[in-house]
């Protein structure tokens, strides 16, 4: 991984890679701590943001032919290439234990992972911990996923934070990436942020 000159907590689009894990219709239906519509809206906003500001976007799914179901079809409209080349895992729980996905992350040459997965207590927590062990800086977007219960979600988020992950909401993360709303990057992210405003 390349070293960066940024302070440890700083998140920049130039150093980041977006990893969206298992946003599949079946798996998402198992989440009770975050409403389905909110979780879906946030995950799709992250994908749109990655494409808007040239952050490498990696999509992965698990056993789409089983109860987990298909990856959200809307990803194809947002990122057709990434959707077509998504990494389909067959039973590997920790996504970063999959050789193809870990190789894809390394190939970006970036050292800061933005991770959102469904569910937080399985799909997100294990790759986040692995990435931290491997020396990556990790931001976990908590509201683009969830867990079967609020307690399960709280436990998994605390575990990741205690290990060194930075927890963020979708809106917070996008604002941090923008940095300045009057910049070119800020202008690209503004409509995505506005789409998250309730009632719009």
Catalytic residue, chosen from 96, 123, 125, 144, is 123
Residue 144 to residue 106: CA distance in whole angstroms: 23
Residues in a beta bridge with 139: 114, 166
The end-to-end CA distance of the chain, in Å, is: 40
Q: Sheet containing 166-168: give its strands across.
A: 87-89, 57-62, 16-21, 112-117, 137-141, 166-168
The set of residues, in sequence order, having a beta carbon less than 8 Å from that of 18 and lying 6+ positions away, is 46, 47, 49, 50, 55, 56, 57, 58, 114
Among the residues of 53-169, which ranges form H helices? 74-78, 80-84, 99-107, 125-133, 150-163
Residue 27 to residue 129: CA distance in whole angstroms: 21
Contact 18, 50 (CB under 8 A): yes
Residue 143 to residue 169: CA distance in whole angstroms: 6
Catalytic residue list contains 151: no
Residues serving a catalytic function are 123
């Amino acid at each position: 991984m390349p070293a960066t000159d940024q302070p440890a907590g700083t998140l920049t689009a130039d150093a980041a890679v977006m990893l969206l894990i298992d946003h599949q219709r079946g798996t998402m239906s198992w989440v009770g701590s975050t409403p389905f519509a909110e979780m879906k809206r946030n995950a799709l906003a992250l994908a749109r943001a990655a494409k808007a500001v040239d952050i490498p976007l990696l999509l992965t799914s698990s056993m789409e032919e089983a109860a987990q179901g298909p990856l959200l079809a809307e990803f194809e409209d947002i990122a057709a290439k990434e959707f077509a080349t998504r990494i389909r895992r067959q039973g590997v729980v920790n996504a970063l234990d999959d050789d193809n996905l870990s190789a894809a992350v390394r190939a970006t040459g970036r050292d800061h992972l933005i991770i959102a997965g469904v569910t937080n207590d399985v799909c997100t927590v294990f790759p986040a911990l692995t990435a931290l062990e491997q020396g990556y800086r990790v931001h976990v977007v908590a509201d683009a996923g969830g867990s079967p219960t609020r307690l399960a979600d709280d436990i998994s988020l605390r575990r990741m934070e205690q290990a060194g992950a930075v927890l963020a909401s979708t809106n917070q993360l996008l604002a941090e990436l923008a940095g300045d709303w009057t910049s070119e990057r800020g202008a690209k992210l503004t409509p995505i942020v506005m789409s998250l405003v309730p009632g719009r």
